A and B are shown apart, each in its own frame.
Chain A
């Protein structure tokens, strides 16, 4: 027996030593939690070794820093001034950039408070120097020169200005061990910035951090930024980690792994920051820095505005009388009235016109002060002869149920809004109304019901005709056929008793148009009666004949006709509303956009026939129905006009 042990004592000792270490390994591996601290003996052994190895490393590192400091601060001073200037410029730029982001940050804080979200701000950090590593390429750890005496605790996050690098693993009195994110046993909760895909990141066998167990259905592109998600309760949320380098298939599972290139250079670490405190309020220093950035940005903006105001000329017109300058705010100088006070950021007002007319901004009365059917009360001294009086309607003699509408009085420009006839109480003949309305949109034609109000003869309501209008001319049409030949369109009228009477109405040339109740269609000449159908489908038996005793040259809507103007009598069918009559007549002028036409002011039906009451405006695109008994009327040729 003794010879056996003495003969094989070397091998036996080796086996004993190996077995002891295997048992030691088994005791260490058999821990309930992977992050659980080492056993007492193990920790003691680590402490002894770290206490022996790290002081010389710290000494060597300190000597190296001093030598480099002497060299860079006293000897190698080349390009120091340029470097200083570039750093100042960068600082200014970053402050302005921060000022641009501070508003978003403030809003985020307010929203967070409203939603009672708990924010995470890095409150305190501790700078530390990296003094050593593990020495092997299998374990990715570093040692820093701060320990438990400096407030370092396990599981504290360690970062650099570039990004996250790891967390504190073991802490000793004067030094600490930091586990890098490139180690296989590390783990960090991360997410992609754009797609917000979350995952766990740990190192692979090559020492590259990668997100594991990612679904292959996720669309992950190289270059995406990776941030900490905060789910591991170690790294604060939102810290930069790196960018996606590539996506590789996991050979053991169906998942994919996303290889991440860390922002920080893990192989050349010198100084790191240990996050020792996290709070839900913004730190004072950061708050102060943001306020300073806001002040600097405001001052910069003011300087830029001053420079700009000095260089840019004022926009005020020197010939503009001072009285025309609208005094908006008290205390504003006149020069600033149009130029914005020299501040390019202030809104500039348009210069005041020398000869204001009805198209001058602000010259038109407010819509609330207008009454449908009335003409504008504004007088323009420098304009033509605006139509301020409501056209009067006259009763066409001998035509029961016919309505004559006073025609336009010629050269006077038409008001945009139909003037309220003095005795207007009856619907107007479609043609006449159309004369005022058919111009549509920008049409200068006043949607005057011409002839203003006319009443169906059958109802017994007297028709009013403007005195200036020649007898027999009932229509107040903006456009008249150049050939001055009145065209007669026979439009049957339906009386209240069912009897119909037909009147002839001059068919205006036309244009445009649209629908009823204020709009005119291009075929309204023929549909005058129908147009009278206004809001409701005009009765098929209505016929309107509009006659005019004189021709004239077509003029733009609203401006009256040049020369003798044919003013066909508008004949309002029984029950026809003013809107309906207004919709006929088409004259609106060539090219008038029907869709933009204003509806004629609706007139109550004065005929005996039941009216549809106040007509509801029809869409401009609606076309009046043509009754079967109505004679087709050739639509007048549109006259090219300069405007609508």
Chain B
């Protein structure tokens, strides 16, 4: 699919962002996730920190940076819970690595691409979370394929809009 492949060397390179965005955007995402869920319980189906990790991964195109960014975002998200820290960190570290790796090989500026990537990464993140929680922590996790598919669709749709919003902050050359 030619549309999904980077057309030139320039597009393969990482897109620069202001440094403070790498700090503010994840914190705002985590805080917003915590605050909105308090008033709208259904908002918990959305995972804003995951979307931010995916975005910075596909746009940054640096697997190592995306891995570390995903780890930090995941650990911060675990810190707000009472559970052992590291579950979300492991899952988001993997997601960030994969997002960056794919971003190098395909054109991630396409909205359809972002939609498909958002859906896939969301389902993958849920599967990893289930695996780590059940096997490493020994806790029961309710798994429903339908619920996870719906979660993937919702996150992918919201992600397309969020990605477009964050594109405005991209340094334009």
How many angstroms between the C-alpha atoms of A58 and B93 in the bound complex? Answer: 30
Query: Are A53 and B90 CB-contacts (below 8 A) given A10-B97, A267-B41?
Result: no
Q: Which of A53, A56, A183, A206 has the most CB of B within 10 A?
A: A53
Q: Do residues A10 and B101 form an inter-chain contact, with CB atoms below 8 A?
A: yes
Residues of B close to A48: CB separation below 8 A: 79
**Would A53 and B80 count as touching, CB distance under 8 A?**
yes
Q: How far is the CB of A30 from chain B (nearest CB, A)?
A: 10
A-contacting residues, B117-169, CB 8 Å = 129, 132-133, 136-142
Query: Do A141 and B81 contact each other (CB < 8 Å), given the known contacts A14-B67, A134-B34?
Result: yes
On chain A, the number of residues with a Cβ less than 8 Å from chain B's Cβ atoms is 51
Q: Is B103 an interface residue (CB 8 A)?
A: no
Complex CA gap A53/B77 in Å reads 10
With the chains together, A183 CA to B81 CA distance in Å? 11
Whether B97 pairs with A57 at a CB distance below 8 angstroms is no
The 24 listed contacts between A and B (C-beta, < 8 Å) are: A14-B94, A21-B86, A24-B85, A25-B84, A25-B132, A28-B85, A29-B137, A42-B85, A45-B75, A46-B85, A61-B35, A132-B35, A134-B34, A135-B33, A135-B80, A137-B45, A138-B83, A138-B129, A138-B141, A177-B82, A183-B82, A184-B139, A184-B140, A268-B41
Q: Is A170 in contact with chain B by the CB < 8 A criterion?
A: yes
B67 proximity list for chain A (CB < 8 A)? 10, 13-14, 17
A325 CB-CB contact with B under 8 Å:
no
| A17: B residues at CB distance < 8 A | 67-68, 71, 93
- Point out the residues of chain A lying under 8 angstroms from B94, CB to CB: 14, 18
Are the CB atoms of B86 and A136 closer together than 8 Å? no
- In angstroms, Cα B64 to Cα A46, docked, is 25
* Interface membership of chain B positions 79-107, coded 1 if the CB is closer than 8 angstroms to chain A and 0 otherwise: 11111111101100110010001000000
* B44 contacts partner chain A, Cβ-Cβ < 8 Å: yes
**A135-B77 in contact (CB<8A):** yes
Candidates A24, A26, A42, A138; contact of B133 at CB < 8 Å: A138
B12-55 CB mask vs A (1 if < 8 Å, else 0) is: 00000000000000010011011101110100110101000000
What are the 7 tightest A-B residue pairs by CB atom distance, in nearest-first order? Answer: A205-B142, A139-B81, A49-B79, A135-B33, A28-B84, A10-B63, A21-B86
Judge if A80 is at the interface, Cβ distance under 8 Å.
no
Neighbouring A residues of B76 by C-beta, 8 Å: 49, 53
- Nearest residue (CB) in B for A180 is B82
Is the CB of A52 closer than 8 A to any CB of chain B?
yes
Q: Cβ of B71: which chain A residues have Cβ within 8 Å of it?
A: 17, 21
Nearest-neighbour CB distance to chain A for B172, whole angstroms, equals 28
Residue among A13, A42, A133, A267 facing the most chain B CB atoms (10 A cut-off): A133
A60 at the interface (CB under 8 A from B): yes
- Closest approach, in angstroms, between the C-beta of B31 and any C-beta of chain A? 5
Minimum CB–CB distance from B94 to chain A (whole Å) comes to 7
Q: Are A25 and B136 in contact (CB under 8 A)?
A: yes
Q: Is A475 an interface residue (CB 8 A)?
A: no
Residue pair A22, B93 in contact (C-beta under 8 Å)? no
Is there contact, CB below 8 Å, between A49 and B63?
no
Q: Does A130 interact with chain B (Cβ within 8 Å)? A: yes
CB distance from B62 to the nearest CB of A (A): 9
Q: What 0/1 readout, one digit per residue, does chain A (67-108) give for beta carbons within 8 Å of chain B?
A: 000000000000000000000000000000000000000000
Chain A interface residues toward B at CB < 8 A: 9-10, 13-14, 17-18, 21-22, 24-26, 28-29, 42, 45-46, 48-50, 52-53, 56-57, 60-61, 130-139, 141-143, 169-170, 177, 179, 183-185, 204-206, 267-269
Q: Kindly identify which residue among B64, B77, B85, B136 contacts A136, using a CB–CB cutoff of 8 Å.
A: B77
In the complex, the chain B residue whose C-beta lies closest to that of A178 is: B82
Task: Give chain B's interface secondary structure class.
Answer: helix
> Residue among B33, B64, B84, B132 with the most chain A CB within 10 A?
B84
Check B38 against A132 for contact (C-beta < 8 Å): yes
Task: Kindly identify which residue among B82, B93, B142 contacts A139, using a CB–CB cutoff of 8 Å.
Answer: B82
The residue of chain A having its C-beta at the shortest distance from the C-beta of B62 within the complex is A10
- B34–A133 touching, CB < 8 Å: yes
The answer to whether B79 and A10 have CB atoms under 8 Å apart is no
- With a cutoff of 8 Å between Cβ atoms, the chain A residues found around residue B77 in the complex are 135-136
Known: A136-B77, A184-B139, A205-B141. A57 touches B35 (CB 8 A): yes
Q: A13-B67, A53-B27, A138-B141 are in contact. Are A18 and B82 (CB under 8 A)?
A: no
Is A137 within 8 A of B63, CB to CB?
A: no
Interface size on B, residues (CB 8 A): 47
Q: Given A50-B80, A53-B34, A185-B82, 18 more contacts at CB 8 Å?
A: A13-B67, A14-B63, A48-B79, A49-B79, A50-B79, A53-B30, A53-B31, A57-B31, A57-B34, A133-B34, A133-B37, A134-B34, A134-B81, A137-B44, A205-B141, A205-B142, A267-B41, A268-B39
**List of A residues within 8 angstroms of B97 by Cβ:** 10, 14
Tell me which of B47, B85, B89 has the highest count of chain A C-beta atoms within 10 A of its own C-beta.
B85
- Residues from chain A with Cβ under 8 Å of B129 in the complex: 138
B137 and A136 contact, CB distance less than 8 A: no
CB <8 Å contact, B142 and A206: yes
B44 to chain A: which residues have CB within 8 Å?
135-137
Instruction: Please tell me which one of the listed residues B30, B41, B136, B141 contacts residue A29 in the complex, with CB atoms under 8 A apart.
Output: B136
Q: Chain B residues with Cβ under 8 A from A56's Cβ?
A: 31, 35
Cβ contacts under 8 Å, A131 to chain B: 35, 38
Contacts of A134 in B (CB 8 A): 34, 37, 80-82
Complex Cα gap A46–B78 (Å): 9
CA distance A386 to B82 in the complex (A): 97
In the bound complex, do residue A46 and residue B79 qualify as a contact, i.e. CB atoms below 8 Å apart? yes
A29: which B residues are within 8 A, CB to CB? 84, 136-138
- Give every chain B residue within 8 A of A135 (Cβ-Cβ): 30, 33-34, 37, 44, 49, 77, 80
CA distance A185 to B137 in the complex (A): 11
Complex-state Cα separation, A259 to B128, whole angstroms: 29
Q: Which of A13, A21, A130, A169 contacts B82 (CB 8 A)?
A: A169
Residues in B neighbouring A179, C-beta threshold 8 A: 82
Contact A60 B64 (CB under 8 A): no
**Cα(A28)–Cα(B83), bound, Å:** 9
In whole angstroms, how far apart are the Cα atoms of A441 and B9 in the complex?
A: 124
Residues of B within 8 A of A14 (CB): 63, 67, 93-94, 97
- Closest Cβ–Cβ distance, residue B66 to chain A (whole Å): 9
Taking the closest CB of chain A, its distance from the CB of B48, in whole angstroms, is 8
How far, in Å, is B158 (CB) from chain A's closest CB?
A: 15
What separation, in Å, do the CA atoms of A13 and B71 have in the docked complex?
12
Instruction: Give Cα distance in the complex from A45 to B37, angstroms.
Output: 22
Residues from chain A with Cβ under 8 Å of B133 in the complex: 138
